[in-house]
């Protein structure tokens, strides 16, 4: 048998060192996939190459070891979306159970919100404060993915106190809340013993968190506190169980109208976008289209005009158009702002506080920047036109 190949080679089986080398290559491929998933900026370029090389190595292993070495496994690569690293999205499986959970949560959320809005006073203030505290927790959860955060506890306290100050403080005192709180937070961060860890990123995210989740939502409390008559045609028929005619104030009517406008804008944008949406609105939120935005704007303006007509606003056509435009663009800006933060953090939802819906910010991002603009629309434009001075 001299000159003949050894039996393993004649049988088509690679020598043992070759199999070990292939094992090492498979492990390296898995490590490369892990690094690609943890680096969003490299993922798109590397995912195709890694998929090809993993299949190539698997083919070599199969041909080199027909017996099926159980220690050699082929890494799998799952496709990801553009929002960030791949994550298991359980809510994406829109099964009957998830749909029912989403509907149940939405109904419960709507009921609690409506009770708080109609009740007003400390009940509504407490509801806003609770929302702000949960929201700032989600906010810091997102920004912590990019760097060091600080002052989280003192800002959470501010989120709980700002709505209360908005209800109790006079107008001039309320305007001083933000600069005083911002200076206090900066001083707190500077005086901490481990302040070497606090960079410009820490200070900027702390101040923006204070502005975003403490100051801005507090304007809903200011708006709800406007006690002028609503001007609605059914003012005298308002049920006693809901507080009677005295409870139906301009602040309550505008607050309810703002909520209806935002819901209408979201609903029409979704329906029109699904039906005819083709032109992408922005890369920040790939699912939004120009056609959907125009549909949402139309729905928002329609509700605003009906509202201004029913409330007998002066120049109701013009004031209703301004009111609807303010709400639509501020709610869209709030939605896109949260989309930027989630995209930067590489997550799909801001949290999981609301089963089937995600986090508080996922549901109320459209209301954050809307609050101060609606309040100042009423205070600086509507009330002077109605001849009312606060």
For residue 212, give the DSSP letter: I
The pairs formed by 108-111 with CB atoms below 8 angstroms and a separation of 24 or more are: 109/354, 109/357, 109/363
pLDDT (tens digit, 9 = 90+) per residue, 61-102? 444 444 443 333 433 333 333 333 333 344 444 455 788 888
Task: Give 354's strand partners.
Answer: 358
Sheet strands (E) in 139-223: none
What is d(CA 302, CA 296) in angstroms, rounded to the nearest whole number? 10
CB 78 within 8 A of CB 51: no
Q: Which of 25-29, 88-92, 309-313, 386-390 has the lowest mean pLDDT?
A: 88-92
Instruction: Give the global pTM.
Output: 0.73
Q: Which of 9-23, 249-263, 329-343 has the lowest mean pLDDT?
A: 9-23
- Residue 84: what pLDDT? 39
- Residue 354: what pLDDT? 86
Confidence of residue 58 (pLDDT cuts 50, 70, 90): very low
- DSSP one-letter string for 95-116: -HHHHHHHHHHHHHHHHHHHHH
- Given phi > 0 = left and psi -120 to 50 = alpha, else beta, which region is 149? beta
What is d(CA 227, CA 248) in angstroms, rounded to the nearest whole number? 9
What's the rounded mean pLDDT across residues 221-233? 89
Q: Which of 69-78, 121-130, 217-226, 274-283 has the lowest mean pLDDT?
A: 69-78
CA-based nearest residue to 327, from 285, 273, 372: 372
pLDDT (tens digit, 9 = 90+) per residue, 134-179? 999 999 999 888 877 888 999 999 999 999 999 998 888 888 899 9
Q: Token match 């709610």: residue?
A: 331
């Amino acid at each position: 048998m001299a000159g003949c190949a050894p039996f393993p080679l004649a049988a088509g089986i690679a020598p043992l060192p070759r199999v070990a080398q292939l094992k090492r290559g498979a492990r390296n491929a898995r490590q490369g996939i892990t690094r690609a998933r943890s680096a969003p900026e490299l993922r798109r370029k590397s995912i195709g190459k890694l998929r090809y090389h993993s299949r190539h190595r698997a083919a070599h292993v199969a041909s080199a070891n027909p017996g099926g070495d159980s220690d050699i496994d082929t890494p799998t690569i799952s496709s990801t979306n553009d929002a960030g690293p791949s994550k298991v999205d359980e809510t994406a499986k829109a099964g009957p159970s998830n749909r029912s959970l989403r509907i149940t949560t939405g109904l419960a959320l709507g009921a609690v919100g409506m009770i708080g809005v109609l009740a007003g006073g400390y009940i509504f203030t407490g509801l806003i404060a609770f929302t702000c505290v949960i929201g700032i927790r989600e906010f810091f959860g997102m920004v912590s993915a990019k760097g060091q955060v600080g002052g989280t506890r003192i800002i959470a306290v501010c989120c709980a106190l700002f709505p209360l100050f908005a209800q109790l403080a006079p107008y001039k005192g309320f305007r001083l809340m933000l600069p005083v709180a911002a200076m206090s937070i900066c001083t707190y961060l500077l005086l901490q013993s481990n302040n070497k860890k606090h960079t410009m990123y820490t200070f900027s995210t702390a101040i923006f968190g204070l502005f975003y989740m403490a100051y801005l939502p507090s304007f809903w409390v200011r708006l709800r506190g406007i006690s002028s008559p609503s001007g609605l045609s059914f003012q005298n028929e308002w049920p006693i169980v809901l507080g009677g005619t005295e409870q139906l104030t301009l602040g309550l009517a505008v607050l309810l109208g703002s909520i209806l406008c935002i819901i209408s804008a979201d609903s029409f944008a979704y329906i029109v976008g699904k039906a005819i949406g083709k032109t992408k609105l922005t890369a920040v939120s790939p699912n939004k289209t120009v056609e959907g935005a125009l549909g949402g704007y139309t729905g928002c303006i329609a509700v605003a005009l009906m509202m201004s007509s029913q409330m007998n606003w002066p120049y109701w056509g013009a004031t209703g158009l301004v009111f609807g435009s303010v709400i639509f663009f501020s709610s869209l800006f709030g939605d896109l702002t949260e989309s930027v933060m989630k995209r930067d953090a590489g997550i799909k939802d801001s949290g999981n506080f609301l089963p089937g819906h995600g986090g508080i910010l996922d549901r109320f991002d459209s209301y954050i920047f809307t609050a101060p603009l609606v309040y100042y629309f009423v205070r600086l434009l509507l009330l002077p036109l109605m001849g009312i001075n606060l």
